[in-house]
Amino acid sequence: MVNLGDVERVIGLSIGYTLMLPWRFERFASKLERIKGQSVDRKQIRGDLELALQKIKNQKAAADRLMTGQGVADLDEGFGRLDALNRMGNQVFYTSLLDPATGELRDPLLKGNFARHDAPVSFPPIWDTPYFLWAQYDASVLNELVRNSGEALGVSATINMTAAAPGRPLFASSIHLSEIARFEELLRGADPFSAGDASRGKFTGLVAPNGRTRRRNSAVTRPGRLMKSSSNKVAILSRSLL
């Protein structure tokens, strides 16, 4: 389980300590040299880290001002919980619209696009999701690739929503769709709905394992009423996994 809010705070602290402590900065630079197989410009690295830390501070301060003005605050998502849709929406319709140079919005009305994290929900295991027709916890997404691309945006993948620039076409993003698709195929594995293997028997729906199996295996499926659709897919009737 992970608490993404804590991860974000730790990343900011790690960058800050790396800049403050000479031995830590040298360890970081040396690790980069081992990875790249060549020497690195330590002055440039320090400048890049300082820029990244300042960007984090500015975005945090701007978000705090917005919520203070609205008289609200983020809910603590906690371990194993995430307000994924609001995170995605904020990244695409607020953060991605900030001016890259100033960090400010070109149109103050766009501040209304920002939403606090107020709907965290538990995210269940991911290994069955490729077999569900609808994804996301409120069954609002009809494709797992779309859902996972949105999740990448929700954890700060970039997308150019402002203007085309050299090397940055309009609407270009840092999402690696081919890699996400590869991960999905890895999770999907063999198709349990294939009619080619008679030894598997007829698929009767996904069910939660009993307590003994839950303790023995980490692959636990959340129960839900499911049915097999005419397109040989699984449709969610009462709830979705994600």
Q: Residue 190 domain-assigned?
A: yes
Q: Residue 197 domain-assigned?
A: yes
Nearest of 63, 87, 109 to residue 7 by alpha carbon: 87
Nearest of 210, 198, 60, 217 to residue 127 by alpha carbon: 217
Q: Residue 96 domain-assigned?
A: no
Q: Which domain range does residue 189 map to?
A: 126-242
**∠ CA(110), CA(111), CA(117), 5° rounding?**
125
Provide the number of structural domains found in the chain. Answer: 1
Nearest of 204, 208, 209, 210 to residue 192 by alpha carbon: 204
pLDDT digits (tens, 9 = 90+) for 23-32: 999 999 999 9
- Here the tokens at position 236 are 């969610």
* Number of other residues whose CB lies within 10 A of the CB of residue 224: 19
Q: Residue 63 domain-assigned?
A: no
Q: Residue 33 domain-assigned?
A: no
More confident residue, 218 or 88: 88
Pairing of strands 226-228, 234-236: antiparallel
pLDDT digits (tens, 9 = 90+) for 49-60: 999 999 888 888
> With 60 as the cut, is the pLDDT of residue 69 above it?
yes
Q: Residue 73 domain-assigned?
A: no
Please name the amino acid found at residue 36: K
Q: Residue 217 domain-assigned?
A: yes
Contact 4, 155 (CB under 8 A): yes
pLDDT digits (tens, 9 = 90+) for 156-212: 788 888 878 787 788 888 898 889 888 877 777 666 666 555 555 555 555 554 555
- Here the tokens at position 69 are 């003005």
Q: Residue 206 domain-assigned?
A: yes
Predicted local distance difference test score (pLDDT) of residue 230: 35
